[in-house]
Amino acid sequence: MTSRRTPLWVGAALLLVALNLRLPIAGIGPLLDDIRATLGLSNTAAGLLTTLPLLCFGGAAAAAPAVARRLGPEGGLLACLGFIIAGTAVRLVVEVAPFFLGTLLIGVGIAVANVLVPIVIKRDYPRPGTMMGLYSMMLISGAAVAAGLSVPLERAVGSWWDAIALWGIAAVVAFVMWVPAVWAARGEHDGPRPPRVRLLGDPLAWAVTITFGLQSLLFYVTLAWVPDILRAAGLDAGGAGAMLSLEALVGIPAGLAAPMIAMRMADQRPMIVLGVAFWLLGWGGLLVAPGSAPAVWMVFLGVAQGSTFALALTLIVLRTPDAPHATALSGMVQGFGYLLAASGPFLAGALHDLTGGWDAPIVVMLMVTLALLACGLPASRRGFVRGRPEPDEQLAC
């Protein structure tokens, strides 16, 4: 498909696909105590359950370029939705092994789709700022909706397993809506496969990758531990949860606006500086006065998270000259980046256990934020990654 004949319904279907890339996993955290009690999970096993999708994001993303070359991005996304639906169905078997297996299937489907959606946007939208903004907004919204509604849904339907299964309905709807896009793209991938591009030796590709990984690390530490930081400062559980919801809601407009602004700028370095400033203000506030103005700190963190996440995704589009390079960079960024991010919640928790307080983890997050600035500045400078193409014969598999 070319941008000139990409109909509105394809864009709408793509955004519905994006919504499903967070719905099935973001609702687990609020229900974790009930899940742990029903399945008899230890704290370690429960921690693995919440980390498993993030590990999949890093590990399975490496397969996405091969999926894109073999099935095309449209066919690959349909297969990803199939994995999400299958994983949701498997999780209806309320036992430990099926629940972990279902979560693994969902994580793999989301991991590959995370890579494929920016490829479609890069290929089909010559001015992709609006679409990247909407894509980022749907990811953030999906996480916020699932986190906010999972407990009310559990109360409404009577069980946590039925509550999380309801998110599978959205995946089925997205699957049905995406089938015509696959049908419309038939025949476009029958010719020679696009060359595989290797970017491991490119400094700009690594700058974009580490930028994505560090901002993701900051976000997942926020998601995992900020409620505990606020509770230690005197807020009750409901108040801490409300503050986290505020952070997510503020991130939605920030995530929508950032790509639109970035696409209009020849140099995105001012944007990374601004995003880092908000991270520093948010974490700095939690360090010096966590209980005095928590809503202010959450607004700062929400703007930081939404803007830097959306900017990091947009850099995949801005730093690649064509679809093969976008495919390679998207896989590299989200593969290595999410593996880096997965270490954050564990390290922050370990530091808390070691020191008995939250000051040391927050200081480390401030240091990570400065590292984000150091990597984000070269990643945000105008230019393209330069990959080494490989002939198609090497791709036989």
% of the chain surpassing 70 pLDDT: 94
Which whole number is the average pLDDT over 18-45? 86
Give me the chain's average pLDDT, please: 89
Give the rounded percent of residues in the chain with a pLDDT score beyond 90.
Answer: 55
Domain(s) labelled CATH 1.20.1250.20 in the chain stretch across 1-193, 200-384
Q: What is the pLDDT of residues 85-104, one digit of tens each?
A: 999 999 999 899 999 999 99
pLDDT of residue 188: 61
**How far, CA to CA in Å, does 84 sit from each of 74, 104, 258, 391, 394?**
16, 9, 29, 33, 31
What is the predicted pLDDT for the residue at 190? 55
User: pLDDT tens, 267-286?
Assistant: 999 999 999 999 999 999 99
CA 250, CA 230: separation in Å to the nearest integer?
18
Give residue 2's pLDDT band: very low, low, confident or very high (50, 70, 90): very low
Provide CB contacts within 8 A for 250, sequence distance 6+. 298, 299, 302, 303, 306
pLDDT at 6: 66
Contact 279, 221 (CB under 8 A): no
Residue type, 243: M
pLDDT digits (tens, 9 = 90+) for 216-237: 999 988 887 888 899 899 988 7
Give residue-wise pLDDT tens across range 356-397: 999 999 999 999 999 999 999 999 999 999 887 765 544 333
Average pLDDT score over residue span 60-76? 89
Residue 255 has pLDDT above 70, yes or no: yes
The arithmetic mean of pLDDT across residues 7-19, rounded, is: 91
- pLDDT at residue 225 in the model: 85
Given this model, what pLDDT does residue 29 score?
76
* Average pLDDT value for residue range 234-252: 85
- 2.30.130.10, 1.10.10.60, 1.20.1250.20, 3.30.360.10: which CATH number matches 1-193? 1.20.1250.20
Of residues 196 and 287, which shows the higher confidence score? Answer: 287
What is the reported pTM?
0.84
Of 28-32, 316-320, 387-391, 393-397, give the lowest mean pLDDT range. Answer: 393-397
Q: CATH fold of 200-384, please?
A: Growth Hormone; Chain: A; (1.20.1250)
Instruction: Convert the pLDDT of each residue in 282-302 to its tens digit.
Output: 999 999 999 999 999 999 999
